[in-house]
Amino acid sequence: MILCDIGNTSLHFLDDEKGEFKESVLAFNPKTFQEKVYYISVNKALSKELKNLGNWIDLEPFIERDGYYDTMGIDRIFALQTTQNGVIVDVGSAVTVDVVRDGVYEGGFIYPGKIAMQSCYSGISPALEYPFHFEFNQKKLAKNSQDAISYGYLKLLASEVSSYALPITLTGGDAEEFSKLFRKNLTIKKRVIFEGMQKVVKQL
Amino acid sequence: MILCDIGNTSLHFLDDEKGEFKESVLAFNPKTFQEKVYYISVNKALSKELKNLGNWIDLEPFIERDGYYDTMGIDRIFALQTTQNGVIVDVGSAVTVDVVRDGVYEGGFIYPGKIAMQSCYSGISPALEYPFHFEFNQKKLAKNSQDAISYGYLKLLASEVSSYALPITLTGGDAEEFSKLFRKNLTIKKRVIFEGMQKVVKQL
């Protein structure tokens, strides 16, 4: 089975045989694939092209979009197919947090990613130009500037996410680093979108 | 009595008779004041000049700096003189949060101010370019993009500040707007630094 998560600049594949690989949208030719490919896509131009190819199967129509919101990315929605009770935290350029309880999507929120937040602080004052400290003591308010911004950015996020008292799944490029914020109930899953897609494929 | 809070670009006065007024550092001549002026200052050049004038009295030596941290602004420390049990939240270009319990400074944290955070989100993606919604429902996770960033920025701050279970004092330029985040235990005090100075003067 081949799965493909299509973004605006690249296609991310998971092939049972070849493993994971990426192709750029510009260099991509869908006709080089003879096998069945199950995909999701946020790339409208490419989706239109793929509709005419019998072996490319869009998974989006096979899930219920009700309960999610219109501008919510299809990748976030597929990640949520993997859990009936859990929080999915995707840490990249933004941090998206989504909560499912008893199979129902409760909603979520968006927080800045590490790089954006760091330049946000240093833009306020050069005195706040520090890297974040991920292993600060979350139980103690800060008494120096580096801890003061680390606490502001990271403790507030950790408290909110932990407050749901649900299993936490971390995904995205900075998952390892952000995992230091949570002591328990934590899984790092780099392939959570593919897992969601696999689950939907099995139900076809 | 005249009180003066000296910053890097302006001097902020509170005069028993004339009320509040500001002067720019550049235009300022301390010799125009014949009366006693009690001041605090983060402006080193000006502090040096004022040391030679008998009627300008620096209040900094009259408080105990132990327990605070070295890079902490003297204005934040004077604001903290007003409470034995409380949280002081100063909302301006940054949001500084400081906690005092039983007269002891526990520490604090620094969070981005409204304008910095808004451009942080819109820098991540134009899809996140919304003004913050201060009167969103804090009890419900978001199901649209504007609520998703408002929740991320404001609910996380409100939860943390409320978690101390102490009286909250809001000060700074955006105090009115941020007051919408808190239901109880809240006072807006625009002059909290002057209040701290008055308290120290009374003990001289």
Q: What pLDDT, in 10s, does the model give residues B44-100?
A: 899 999 999 999 999 999 999 888 998 888 999 999 999 999 999 999 999 999 999
B91-96 long-range contacts (CB < 8 A, ≥24 apart) are B91/B170, B91/B171, B91/B172, B91/B173, B91/B174, B91/B175, B91/B177, B91/B178, B92/B172, B92/B173, B92/B174, B93/A124, B93/A125, B94/A124, B94/A125, B94/A128, B95/A152, B95/B157, B95/B178
Domain with CATH 3.30.420.40 in chain A: 2-62, 83-188
Contact, B1 vs B38, CB < 8 A? yes
Q: Is B2 helix (H, G, I), strand (E, B) or coil?
A: strand
Nearest CA in chain B to A116: B120
Nearest CA in chain B to A112: B121
Task: Flag if B124 and A163 touch (Cβ within 8 Å).
Answer: no
Task: Flag if B110 and A163 touch (Cβ within 8 Å).
Answer: no
| Annotation marks residue A147 as catalytic | no
pTM score over 0.80? yes
Q: How many CB contacts within 8 angstroms connect chain A with chain B?
A: 125
A53: closest CA among A78, A28, A73? A28
Task: Flag if A116 and B123 touch (Cβ within 8 Å).
Answer: yes
Q: Is B177 helix (H, G, I), strand (E, B) or coil?
A: helix
Active-site pick, A15, A66, A75, A90: A75
Contacts B107 to A, Cβ<8 Å: 140-143
Instruction: Report residues of chain B scoring pLDDT below 70.
Output: none
The sign of the CA dihedral A132, A134, A138, A143 is negative
Smallest Cβ–Cβ distance between B109 and the set A97, A127, A142 belongs to A142
Return the DSSP state at B184: S
pLDDT of A107 > 90? The answer is yes
Q: pLDDT by residue (tens digit) across A140-163? A: 999 999 999 999 999 999 999 999
Instruction: Match domain A2-62 to its CATH number in 3.40.50.620, 3.30.465.10, 3.40.50.11540, 3.30.420.40.
Output: 3.30.420.40
Contacts B70 to A, Cβ<8 Å: 144
Partnered with residue A109 across adjacent β-strands are: A97
Q: Is A90 helix (H, G, I), strand (E, B) or coil?
A: strand
CATH of domain A83-188: 3.30.420.40
Contacts A146 to B, Cβ<8 Å: none
Phi/psi at A23 (nearest 5 deg)? -135, 150
Smallest Cβ–Cβ distance between B141 and the set A108, A120, A153 belongs to A108
> What is the separation of C-alpha B150 from the centre of its chain, rounded to a whole number of angstroms?
22
Smallest Cβ–Cβ distance between A110 and the set B111, B140, B152 belongs to B152
Supply the pLDDT for residue A70.
87
Catalytic residues of B: 75
Smallest Cβ–Cβ distance between B160 and the set A121, A128, A159 belongs to A159
- Helix (H) / strand (E) containing A105: strand A104-112
Min Cα distance B132 → chain A (Å) is 12
- Top pLDDT among A184 and A22 is at A22
pLDDT band at residue A44 using 50, 70 and 90 as cut-offs: confident
B116: closest CA among A37, A112, A63, A167? A112
pLDDT of A59 > 90? The answer is yes
Contacts B68 to A, Cβ<8 Å: 143
- Top pLDDT among A96 and A44 is at A96
Nearest CA in chain A to B95: A152
Task: Flag if A157 and B160 touch (Cβ within 8 Å).
Answer: no
pLDDT of A202 > 90? The answer is yes
Task: Flag if A111 and B143 touch (Cβ within 8 Å).
Answer: no
Smallest Cβ–Cβ distance between A124 and the set B71, B116, B151 belongs to B116
pLDDT of A183 > 90? The answer is no
Min Cα distance A80 → chain B (Å) is 14
Q: Packing angle between helix B156-163 and helix A156-163, nearest 10 degrees?
A: 90
